[in-house]
C-alpha cells in the first residue's frame, strides 16, 4: 500500500474507558497493532471516556482518540463502537463489563478482573453467555505477550524442562516506600480490591499458570502493611484544623508472600511488594523441571535463560537466548534481530491478538474465566493470611 492509498480494511470501533497509565499503554496498542501486524480489520480509536471534561478532552488529543465523553454509558448505544476497553480502577470493572456485554460489545478488561470473587464470577458467567451470541471478551494480562515469555511457554509445552517441580516468581517495586506518599486509589481496598497482591502479584500468578499450563490448587501466604496512614491526596498541600496534614487509612496490603501447589504437585513461591527499595519494576520468574530450567527477568526482557539437564556434563550451564529472531513469538513484525522491544510492545501484541480473535470469532485468551481463576487465587491468599498462613484451597 502506498502512502496515498486508503486502508480499505473494515473498521473495528473502540471505546476506551479510562485514560491514565493503563489507558496510555492501551492507546499505544490500538494506534499501532494494525500498522505492524497483518490484521483483517483496522482498529478505529473512536472515543475515550473519563470523569473530568478538561482532562478527558486533553487525553483524547494526546493519545489519538477521535472524540471523548464523560459518560461511558453513551458508548453502549453507538453503532460505531464494537469494542469497549476497560482501563479504570477495579471497583468499576464489573459494572462496565456487564453493561457492555449486555449491549453486544466485545470487551477487553484490565487485570485483575474484579475486586472480589463474587464480581468476577458474575463477569465470567456473563462473558460465557455473551460468547454464545458471538460477543467476545478477554482480560489484559499483558506480560503473556512478552516474546521471551511466550517462547518460554512453547519450550515448556514441548517438554524442554521435563516434569515441572518448582516455580518461583517475584514482582518488586518501590514507589510507596516514602511514608509521605499520598493515599492514592491503589491504596484503598474499596477502589483497588487489594494492594501489591492484586496489583502486581496477579501478574506473576497468571504468568506462572500460563507458562506451565497448570492451575494453582492451594496456597499458604501472609500479607503485611508497613504504613497504616498516608496523607490524603487532595490534602498534601494543606493543613488540617490541628495544624498537620490530614491523613487517611491505608486499607490494602503493602506486601505479599505465599506458597502454592499446582495440579501436578509442583511447588511454587511468590513475592509481591511495593516496598522493595531500589526496585522499580523487577518481575522475575523461574521454572525448574526434571530435564531443565528456564529463567526470565523483565529488566532484561528480550532474553531467556535456558538450562538443558540432558546435555553432556562439560556442556551444561544456562544458555542465554536473545529472543529477537523473526521466528520467535511476535518479533517478526518488528525490527532486525538484536534490536530489542520494550514494555509498550506487550500491549501492541495484546491488542493485535485480541483484534485478530474478534475478527475471526475465536474466543480470546486469557478469558474472563481465566481472570476469575486468578481472582480465586488472590482470595485464597487473603484467606490464608487471615488464618495464620494455613494452606487454603483455591
Render pLDDT for 68-126 as a digit per residue (tens, 0 to 9): 999 999 999 999 999 999 999 999 999 999 999 999 999 999 999 999 999 999 999 99
Instruction: Tell whether the model's pLDDT for residue 1 goes beyond 70.
Output: no
CA distance 241 to 263: 56
Query: How large is the average pLDDT for residues 42-57?
Result: 97
Q: Which residues of 32-61 are buried (b: 16+ CB within 10 A; e: fewer)?
A: bbbeebebebebbbbbbbbeeeeebbebbe
Q: Which domains does the chain have, with CATH numbers?
A: 11-143 (3.40.50.720), 146-393 (3.30.360.10)
* 256 grid coordinates: 505479599
pLDDT of 325: 98
- Per-residue pLDDT at 203 exceeds 90: yes
Indicate the pTM of the whole model: 0.95
**Residues in the chain, overall count:** 394
Position 242 scores a pLDDT of: 43
Complete DSSP assignment for 22-52: HHHHHHHHHHHHHHHS--SSEEEEEEEE-SS
Cβ-contact 90, 375 below 8 angstroms: no
pLDDT single digits (tens) 318-370: 999 999 999 999 999 999 999 999 999 999 999 999 999 999 999 999 999 99
Q: Tell whether the model's pLDDT for residue 380 goes beyond 80.
A: yes
Longest dimension (CA), the chain: 73
302 is written with which cell numbers?
A: 528480550
| pLDDT of amino acid 278 | 98
Q: Is 79 helix (H, G, I), strand (E, B) or coil?
A: coil
* pLDDT at residue 5, as a whole number: 67
Statement: residue 241 has pLDDT above 50:
no
For the chain, state the CA radius of gyration.
Answer: 22
Sign of the CA dihedral running 176, 178, 183, 189: positive
10 Å CB burial of residue 238 (0-12, 13-18, 19+) is: exposed
Amino acid 245: pLDDT: 85
Q: Band the pLDDT of 240: cuts 50, 70, 90.
A: very low
pLDDT at 4: 59
What are the beta bridge partners of residue 276? none
**CA-based torsion, 18, 22, 24, 25: positive or negative:** negative
- Backbone φ and ψ for 99, nearest 5 degrees, come out as -65, -40
DSSP symbol at 10: P
Amino acid at each position: 500500500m502506498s502512502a496515498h492509498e486508503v486502508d480499505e480494511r473494515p473498521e473495528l470501533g473502540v471505546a476506551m474507558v479510562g485514560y491514565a497509565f493503563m489507558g496510555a499503554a492501551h492507546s499505544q496498542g490500538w494506534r499501532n497493532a494494525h500498522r505492524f501486524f497483518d490484521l483483517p480489520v483496522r482498529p478505529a480509536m473512536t472515543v475515550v471516556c473519563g470523569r473530568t471534561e478538561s482532562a478527558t478532552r486533553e487525553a483524547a488529543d494526546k493519545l489519538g482518540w477521535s472524540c471523548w465523553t464523560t459518560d461511558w454509558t453513551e458508548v453502549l448505544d453507538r453503532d460505531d463502537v464494537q469494542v469497549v476497553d476497560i482501563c479504570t480502577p477495579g471497583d468499576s470493572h464489573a459494572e462496565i463489563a456487564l453493561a457492555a456485554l449486555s449491549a453486544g460489545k466485545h470487551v477487553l478488561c484490565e487485570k485483575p478482573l474484579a475486586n472480589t470473587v463474587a464480581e468476577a464470577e458474575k463477569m465470567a458467567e456473563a462473558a460465557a453467555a455473551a460468547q454464545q451470541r458471538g460477543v467476545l471478551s478477554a482480560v489484559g494480562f499483558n506480560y503473556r505477550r512478552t516474546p521471551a515469555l511466550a517462547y518460554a511457554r512453547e519450550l515448556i509445552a514441548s517438554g524442554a524442562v521435563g516434569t515441572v517441580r518448582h516455580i518461583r516468581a517475584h514482582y518488586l517495586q518501590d514507589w510507596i516506600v516514602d511514608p509521605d506518599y499520598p493515599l492514592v486509589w491503589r491504596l484503598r481496598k474499596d477502589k483497588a480490591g487489594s494492594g501489591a497482591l492484586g496489583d502486581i502479584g496477579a501478574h506473576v500468578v497468571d504468568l506462572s499458570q500460563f507458562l506451565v499450563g497448570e492451575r494453582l490448587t492451594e496456597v499458604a501466604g501472609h500479607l503485611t502493611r508497613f504504613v497504616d496512614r498516608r496523607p490524603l491526596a487532595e490534602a498534601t498541600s494543606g493543613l488540617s484544623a490541628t495544624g498537620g496534614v490530614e491523613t487517611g487509612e491505608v486499607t490494602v496490603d503493602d506486601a505479599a508472600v505465599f506458597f502454592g501447589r499446582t495440579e501436578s504437585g509442583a511447588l511454587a513461591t511468590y513475592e509481591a511488594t511495593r516496598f522493595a527499595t531500589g526496585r522499580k519494576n523487577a518481575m522475575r520468574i523461574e521454572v525448574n523441571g526434571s530435564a531443565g530450567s528456564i529463567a526470565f527477568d523483565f529488566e532484561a526482557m528480550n532474553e531467556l535463560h535456558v538450562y538443558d539437564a540432558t546435555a553432556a556434563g562439560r556442556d551444561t550451564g544456562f544458555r542465554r537466548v536473545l529472543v529477537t529472531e523473526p521466528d520467535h513469538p511476535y518479533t517478526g513484525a518488528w525490527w532486525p534481530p538484536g534490536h530489542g522491544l520494550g514494555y509498550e510492545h506487550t500491549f501492541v501484541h495484546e491488542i493485535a491478538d485480541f483484534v485478530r480473535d474478534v475478527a475471526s470469532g475465536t474466543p480470546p485468551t486469557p478469558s474472563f474465566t481465566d481472570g476469575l481463576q486468578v481472582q480465586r487465587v488472590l482470595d485464597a491468599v487473603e484467606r490464608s493470611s487471615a488464618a495464620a498462613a494455613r494452606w487454603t484451597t483455591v
